[in-house]
């Protein structure tokens, strides 16, 4: 940093990188996030990219973005509005200018602001004039031409040279926030170990952007954000899909079982399958199936033979898996089904987030077919709830449906890596071959769980399948037996409530308004409630992770508040579910179905209107 540079300290800041899909904005944002995490900041990220593989270049529909919110104190969301926007073309300005705070900084590559690109983005002439950016700190940097100049003697072709322009932009942002270059340079050395000329080109572009920012007064003062005060331990930056995979890996190790995943690639869940396929060193058996049905059926076979079995998917794939989930319920086999929710119906918005698969998760099967349903709330706690899903599935001999979503799957945050010895025990109910005769549907009197008989074990031979059975495992068409077994399976799932924690309240345990959410919206709801509390409102939050069965104390929590508001990224599925289960309460709603997370502002405004009777 230059000695004459001014430095101001900030508690938190939001930066958004945006450009065409080929401009490397996801990598740029990830590298900045990793550097911030290594510095010690708390952070939360939100990647946002087009649904089309080859989205039209230069158009608003083809814009790819990556937002990161970092701070000195606890960060729960990627932020509503950005302090700094890096825009590589006019379309990036068009798509994101409404998300920049008044007076914020907008850095753009003026070399890309050609007449053709301006027209593609939907402008008539000058985007700066048309967007009325007079009150913003606009920096029109000649990024492309400066990269060409910096790398003119390196011997690379023009196309390869221009691919480094995102690193020039990153260098500028590193200067603005007083960040070291060494972590990113180390990444280049590792990533391009077999292509040192590419590594060197990226380093040169990164430094060129850094030094360019040093020379222009428009990026003064430098913004400094001190490290966050966090508990001691070993941390890493982790996204939800990897955290989910690792939670299942840890559960298999704790249970002493092999892990099998049978899945079909589908956005945004594919990362779970990819991460597990890379873990052959830990004994994972992965199978990329020809379709969703084959994926879950192979997982069922693996469960029958004594493995921790997993299948991962998104909403359309969950629909295809429904019959086999019914088979798992009927056979009472443990299996974890991970549904990474996205915008629907059908193909819908495959790269965008939503919470609209809840009713499908609860009821989307034929017959009376209950499964345990739980939901993760942050990218890092996908580890915890994946572990919990496996523990419940194994110990209660039932399918467990784990709901995450696109925001959690692709977003990232610092995660304190736990020690295996600190994770709770997992004890599968293996059948005792010394108990004669063996009754495959005999149950534990407390949990109603049947034992797990591994095929090939002498004395534990039994029939299994989709037809109704008797206690002995023989096929039965007796009406009374069917009704008894249906009730037993439902009661078994209901008894999981004995093993899950109570619903907790963030804030006072009574008040004027309880904001209720579930799953991945917790960070936004928590931040909104925190700000409302600071403004004097008697508001608290209850965010659900255990959805079927519910925690036992829900009624007790709800009755202490005058008003209940349910916020979710759908048209009201959880609110309707609560109306079915707890009819004595009135539920207001905050809903959003745009493929985007909530903003804190819209949650606060709705809650204030409800509190004021509007």
CA–CA separation, 99 vs 294, rounded Å?
A: 43
For CATH 3.40.920.10, list the domain ranges present in the chain. Answer: 7-224
Contacts by residues 435-442 (CB-CB < 8 Å, ≥ 24 positions apart): 438/462, 439/471, 439/472, 439/473, 440/464, 440/469, 440/472, 440/473, 441/332, 441/469, 441/470, 441/471, 441/472, 441/473, 441/485, 442/471
What is the C-alpha to C-alpha distance for residues 352 and 409, in angstroms, rounded to an integer? Answer: 11
What does the pLDDT read at residue 310? Answer: 98
Q: What is the pLDDT of residues 523-580, one digit of tens each?
A: 999 999 999 999 999 999 999 999 999 999 999 999 999 999 999 999 999 999 999 9
**pLDDT tens-digit series, residues 26-79:** 999 999 999 999 999 999 999 998 877 777 888 998 999 999 999 998 999 999
The yes-or-no verdict on residue 3 having pLDDT over 70 is: no
pLDDT digits (tens, 9 = 90+) for 217-238: 777 788 989 998 888 889 999 9
CA 12 to chain CA centroid, Å, is 22
Q: Is the pLDDT score of 93 beyond 70?
A: yes
Instruction: Determine what percent of the chain falls in helix, strand and coil, rounding each to the nearest 5.
Output: 40, 20, 35
Q: Say what the pLDDT of residue 5 is.
A: 63
Nearest to 136 by CA among 188, 63, 198, 84: 84
Report whether 255 contacts 212 (CB < 8 A): no
- Taking alpha carbons only, the member of 341, 308, 339, 346 closest to residue 322 is 339
Cα 362 from Cα 44, distance rounded (Å) = 30
Contact indicator for 339, 403 with CB cutoff of 8 Å: yes
For 236-422, which CATH superfamily applies? Answer: Thiamin diphosphate (ThDP)-binding fold, Pyr/PP domains (3.40.50.970)
What order of strands is seen across the sheet that includes strand 546-548? Answer: 285-288, 259-263, 308-313, 335-341, 399-405, 372-375, 546-548
Contact partners, residue 15, CB within 8 Å, separation at least 6: 29, 32, 67, 68, 70, 82, 83, 84, 85, 86, 173, 177
Average pLDDT over residues 304-315: 98
- The boundaries of every CATH 3.40.50.970 domain in the chain are 236-422
The CATH classification number of 7-224 equals 3.40.920.10
Give me the CATH topology for the region 511-611.
Rossmann fold (3.40.50)
How much is the CA Rg of the chain, to the nearest whole Å? 26
Instruction: Using a cut of 0.85, tell me whether the model's pTM lies above it.
Output: yes
* Comma-separated ranges of CATH 3.40.50.920 domains in the chain: 511-611
The pLDDT, as a whole number, for residue 502 is 98
């Amino acid at each position: 940093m230059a000695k004459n540079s001014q430095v101001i300290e900030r508690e938190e800041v939001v930066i958004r990188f945006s450009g065409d899909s080929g401009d490397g904005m996801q990598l740029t944002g990830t590298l900045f996030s990793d550097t911030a995490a290594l510095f010690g900041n708390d952070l939360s990220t939100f990647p946002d990219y087009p649904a089309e593989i080859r989205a039209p270049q230069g158009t608003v529909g083809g814009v790819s973005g990556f937002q990161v919110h970092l701070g000195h104190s606890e960060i729960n969301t990627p932020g509503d509005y950005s302090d700094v926007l890096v825009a590589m073309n006019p379309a990036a300005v068009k798509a994101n200018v409404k998300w920049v705070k008044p007076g914020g900084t907008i850095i753009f590559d003026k070399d890309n602001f050609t007449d053709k690109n301006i027209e593609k983005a939907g402008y008539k002439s000058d985007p700066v004039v048309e967007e009325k950016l007079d009150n913003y700190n606009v920096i029109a940097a000649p990024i492309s031409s400066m990269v060409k100049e910096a790398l003119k003697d390196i011997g690379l072709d023009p196309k390869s040279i221009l691919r480094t322009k995102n690193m020039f932009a990153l260098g500028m942002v590193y200067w603005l926030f007083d960040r070291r270059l060494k972590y990113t340079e180390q990444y280049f050395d590792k990533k391009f170990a077999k292509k040192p000329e590419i590594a060197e080109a990226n380093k040169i572009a990164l430094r060129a952007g850094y030094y360019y920012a040093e020379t222009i007064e428009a990026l003064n003062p430098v913004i400094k954000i001190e490290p966050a005060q966090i508990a001691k331990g070993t941390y890493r930056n982790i996204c939800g899909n990897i955290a989910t995979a690792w939670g299942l890996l840890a559960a298999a190790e704790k249970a002493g079982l092999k892990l099998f995943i049978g899945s079909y690639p589908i956005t945004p869940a594919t990362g779970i399958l990819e991460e597990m396929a890379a873990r052959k060193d830990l004994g994972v058996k992965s199978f990329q199936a020809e379709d969703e049905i084959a994926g879950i059926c192979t997982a069922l076979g693996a469960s029958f033979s004594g493995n921790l079995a997993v299948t991962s998917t998104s909403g359309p794939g969950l629909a295809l898996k429904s019959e086999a989930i019914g088979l798992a319920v009927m056979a009472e086999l443990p299996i974890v089904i991970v549904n990474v929710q996205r915008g629907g119906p059908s193909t819908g918005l495959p790269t965008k987030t939503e919470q609209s698969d809840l009713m499908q998760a609860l009821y989307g099967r034929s017959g009376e077919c209950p499964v345990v349903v739980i939901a993760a709330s942050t990218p890092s706690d996908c580890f915890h709830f994946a572990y919990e899903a496996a523990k419940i599935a194994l110990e209660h001999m039932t399918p467990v449906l784990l709901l995450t979503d696109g925001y959690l799957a692709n977003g990232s945050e610092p995660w304190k890596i736990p020690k295996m010895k600190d994770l709770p025990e997992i004890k599968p109910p293996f059948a005792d071959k010394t108990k004669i005769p063996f009754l495959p549907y005999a149950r534990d009197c407390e949990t109603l769980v049947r034992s797990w008989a591994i095929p090939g074990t002498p004395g534990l031979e039994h029939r299994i399948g989709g037809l109704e059975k008797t206690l002995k495992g023989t096929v039965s068409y007796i009406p009374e037996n069917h009704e008894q077994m249906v009730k037993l399976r439902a009661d078994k799932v209901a008894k999981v409530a004995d093993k899950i924690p109570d619903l907790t309240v963030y804030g006072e345990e009574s008040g004027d308004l309880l904001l209720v959410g579930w799953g991945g919206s917790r960070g936004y709801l928590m931040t909104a409630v925190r700000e409302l509390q600071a403004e004097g409102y008697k508001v608290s939050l209850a965010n659900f992770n255990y959805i079927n069965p519910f925690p036992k104390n829900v009624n007790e929590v709800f009755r202490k508040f005058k008003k209940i508001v349910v916020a979710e990224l759908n048209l009201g599925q959880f609110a309707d579910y609560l109306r079915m289960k707890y009819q004595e309460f009135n539920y207001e709603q905050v809903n959003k179905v745009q493929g985007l997370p909530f903003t804190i502002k819209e949650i606060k405004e709705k809650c204030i209107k409800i509190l004021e009777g509007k």
